[in-house]
Chain A
Amino acid sequence: MKNLFKSNAVIMLVFSAVVLSAPIWADPIGANYPDLLQKFAIFGLFAVGYNILFGLTGYLSFGHAAFLGVGSYAAVWSLKLLTMNVFLGIILATIISGLFALVIGFISLRRSGIYFSILTLAFAQMSYSLAYSVLTPITNGETGLQIAADDPRFLDRLFGITQEGVAIPSTHFFGFDIKSMDGYFGFYFAAVVLIIGFYIALKIFRSPFGLKLKAIKSNQTRMTYTGFNTRPYLLSAFVISGMYAGLAGSIMVAIDPLAGAERMQWTASGEVVLMTILGGVGTLIGPMLGAAIIKYAENIFSALNNTELTQMFNFAPETIQNALVFIVEPFVGKGWHLSLGAMFMLVVIFLPGGVMEGVERILRLFGIGKKKKVVEGDAK
């Protein structure tokens, strides 16, 4: 029974079912609309990739938003210069962000610990500052890079593909309009990429390569005396996670063809760190949970106002209703950052392993789940 739950096929089956049925289970919590579902999938992907670096090797990068940004810009340029088929853009973005990660990783990984963090932070902030100002010809600065009607799109032109009757053509995946199905196609598209990305992460977690990365996190010095050259391992993990970030950035663009500089700001890098820790570092599912929680807070909490709260607590008698509204109100609407900050603190104080630890504790309470904590992904 236990082994069954640990087999890749079963995990993937359950995972895919959960992801693809998101429009159903997200409905009661008010998250069933394409944009948020897409964000769940995209940031889930970003966090899954980030976790390959941070979760497996313990190297805390504060610069991964830069790769997301580079991926976005690369994808928009592919849409502008080559073709509105997002496939090419996604491939190009992943490769280019991988190359970018290779360069930054090569330099940053000469150091470890907090120094590594600051190096990545410095690179990301430089990228952001330049993208916002000096590099405006490439990035279109504050406004963000958008596609326009008169973009060359050489490949589309070469094959004589034009989209009739629209000023700005829409992105498509081999002819399937990403915006179709009221935007839900975009979600399913992102979801499928997430599932593929998750599968790759699962494979990595359960490969000798993944085991070695975990060993580096556990004791890097010993790894060198055991005969491993740790730097290329770290660099591989760094590049892979950078490519995930670029991929996530390009999916963002595929669904909504725009790339802005603030995607590269250190706070955006910080966000993925927070997602990962909040969900549970080094666990497979945790980072995605963290991503979903933060995006949910950002989009739903921030939109609640007095009226809606009053409705929400309609079930209670009026005095209690008013009291509830009074208590909850500072945490939602314009105060949504407050709940985010409080949540970070509470999770770290009471659940050092992130939300996943909470889930595990609950499962243990019911006698399911494992007695002893074992690093996730150890297929036995």
Chain B
Amino acid sequence: MSSTILEIKGVNKTFGGLHALSDVNLQITEGETHAIIGPNGAGKSTLLNCCIGKLIPDNGSVTFNGRNMIGMPPHEINHAGMVRVFQTPEIFPDLSLIDNLMIPALAKRDGTYSFNPFKSMAKEKAIRDEAMESLAEFGLDKFHDQHAGSISRGDKRRLELAMGLIQHPTLLLLDEPTAGMARHDTNNTIELLKSGKMGEMTKVIIEHDMHVVFSLADRISVLARGHIIATGTPEEIKDDPKVKEAYLGEEQEDE
């Protein structure tokens, strides 16, 4: 049995009078792909934000690799090995694709701050090669010197994934990696997330698309109105009456 990487214990978060998260408990074990599903407004993004330091929960604990993450600034959480991939691509639109990948690679090497104004970028061959390799992996190498702002939306999503991956995170948090994608692109992304290094990585995926969830997830947690109402294997979740009631019904209405 592999060990627990991320443990969320009794996390509460309220906005004004609204309980976004109530007593959320969740354990992510090493090597698994864990999907968090739930209707809109269930608190999925809030939970993610509590993990990466964007929000601080009112109480409860978030422990990652044995370290308490609460109150830690986002950049340190990143270095602890928990990396988030954003739903809407948060790339560097004014920089070239290769630079977009070199930045996270540099973060991995240089830490949260390093002052090296006289080092030449031209001499950063190792970093550049790594970035180039990663671009090739995602089929983006042909655009490497284009501005990231100018490439297609799908390419931006792939770039976003590549940026997360190049940091070799211990845990990758994916926020709806296929939202708004055409079916064809979605399938490609699923393949990408399943294969190679990506496949072996511990991942938390927030996803709407049940097709994606059931293709990828080892375990699934269902979040509704701030509560985790069920956690289990895809089969268990499929058959859980509470889930059907709270989520799947609504899901069908959506479509």
A and B touch in the complex (CB under 8 A): yes
Contacts of A232 in B (CB 8 A): 113
Shortest 5 CB-CB contacts between residues of A and residues of B: A227-B78, A227-B107, A218-B92, A229-B112, A218-B94
Q: 22 interchain pairs (CB within 8 A)?
A: A8-B120, A206-B122, A207-B118, A207-B119, A208-B102, A208-B114, A208-B121, A209-B116, A215-B95, A218-B93, A225-B52, A225-B90, A227-B79, A227-B107, A227-B111, A229-B76, A236-B115, A236-B117, A372-B146, A373-B147, A375-B96, A379-B121
Interface residue ranges, A against B (CB under 8 Å) = 8, 200, 203-204, 206-212, 214-215, 217-219, 221-230, 232-233, 236, 240, 372-375, 378-380
Question: Interface of B with A (CB < 8 Å)?
Answer: 52, 73-76, 78-79, 83-84, 86, 90-96, 99, 102-104, 106-108, 110-122, 124, 127, 145-147, 163, 167
Given contacts A226-B78, A228-B112, contact A208 B91 (CB under 8 A): no
Given A224-B73, A226-B107, A210 and B117 contact (CB-CB distance below 8 Å):
yes
The 8 Å CB contact of A380, one of B106, B118, B145, B146, is B145
Measured in the bound complex, the distance between the Cα atoms of B119 and A25 in whole Å is: 34
Majority DSSP secondary structure for residues of A touching B? helix
Q: A209-B115, A210-B117 in contact; A225/B73 too (CB < 8 A)?
A: no
| Residue contact A211 to B84, C-beta cutoff 8 Å | no
Q: Is the CB of A228 within 8 A of B120?
A: no
Chain A contacts of B83 at CB under 8 A?
A: 225
For the complex, give the distance between the alpha carbons of A307 and B94 in Å. Answer: 50
B160 to chain A minimum Cβ distance, whole angstroms, is 10
Question: Known interface pairs A227-B104, A229-B73, A378-B96. Does A222 touch B90 (Cβ–Cβ under 8 Å)?
Answer: yes
**Known contacts A219-B91, A222-B92: A227-B122 contact under CB 8 Å:** no
Which residues of A are found within 8 Å of B96, using beta-carbon distances? 374-375, 378
A219 to B75, CA, bound (A): 14
**Nearest B residue to A379 by beta-carbon distance?**
B122
A224 touches B120 (CB 8 A): no
State whether A226 touches B119 (Cβ < 8 A).
no
Given A207-B116, A226-B75, A236-B115; 16 other pairs, CB 8 A cutoff: A203-B117, A206-B122, A207-B119, A208-B106, A208-B114, A209-B115, A212-B106, A215-B92, A222-B92, A223-B75, A225-B90, A226-B167, A227-B104, A227-B107, A227-B167, A374-B147
